Amino acid sequence: MSAQPLAGIKIVDLTRVLAGPISAQMLADLGAEVIKIERPGTGDDARAFGPPYLVDPEGKADNNNSFYLCANRGKKSVTVNIARPEGQTIVRELAKGADVMMENYKVGDLKRYGLDYQSIKAINPGIIYCSVTGFGQTGPYAPRAGYDAILQAMGGLMSVTGHIDGEPGEGPMKVGPSIVDYMTGMNASIGILAALYHRKVNGEGQHVDVCLFDTVIASLSHWLQIYLVNGTTPPRRGTWGNGGMPAGVFRCTDGELMLVVGNDGQFARTCAVLGAPELAADPRFVKNNDRVAHGEEIMAIFAGLFLKKPLAHWLDELEKAGVPSGPINNFEQLFADPHVRERGMRIKVNHPLEPELSLIRNPLTFSGTPIKDYRAPPLLGENTREVLSSSLGYDDAKLDELKRQGVI
Measuring CA to CA, which residue among 76, 75, 68, 74 is closest to residue 44? 68
d(CA 130, CA 204): 14
DSSP output for 141-200: TTTS---HHHHHHHTSTGGG-SBPTTSTTBS----SS-HHHHHHHHHHHHHHHHHHHHHH
Q: Which residues pair with 258 in a beta bridge?
A: 249, 326
By CB neighbour count within 10 A (0-12 exposed, 13-18 middle, 19+ buried), where does 75 fall? buried
Report the distance separating Cα 191 and Cα 359, nearest Å: 25
Give how far the C-alpha of residue 345 lies from the chain's centroid of Cα atoms, to the nearest Å.
15
The residues with which 207 forms a beta bridge, in sequence order, are 129
Helix, coil or strand: residue 75: coil
Q: What's the residue count for the chain? A: 408
| Residues 6 or more apart in contact with residue 360 via CB below 8 angstroms | 70, 345, 346, 347
Q: What is the DSSP string of 17-45?
A: SSHHHHHHHHHHHTT-EEEEEE-TTT-SG
Name the CA dihedral angle for 215, 219, 223, 227, rounded to a multiple of 10 degrees.
20
181 classed as catalytic: yes
d(CA 277, CA 311): 20
How far apart are alpha carbons 74 and 32 in whole angstroms? Answer: 9
The active-site residue, picked from 99, 148, 181, 209, is: 181
Q: What is the DSSP letter of 4?
A: P
Longest dimension (CA), the chain: 85
Angle at 335 between CA 333 and CA 337, to 5 degrees: 70
CB 55 within 8 A of CB 61: yes
Strand, helix or coil for residue 387 = helix
- Measured CA to CA, the distance from residue 263 to residue 103 in angstroms comes to 45
Catalytic residues: 181
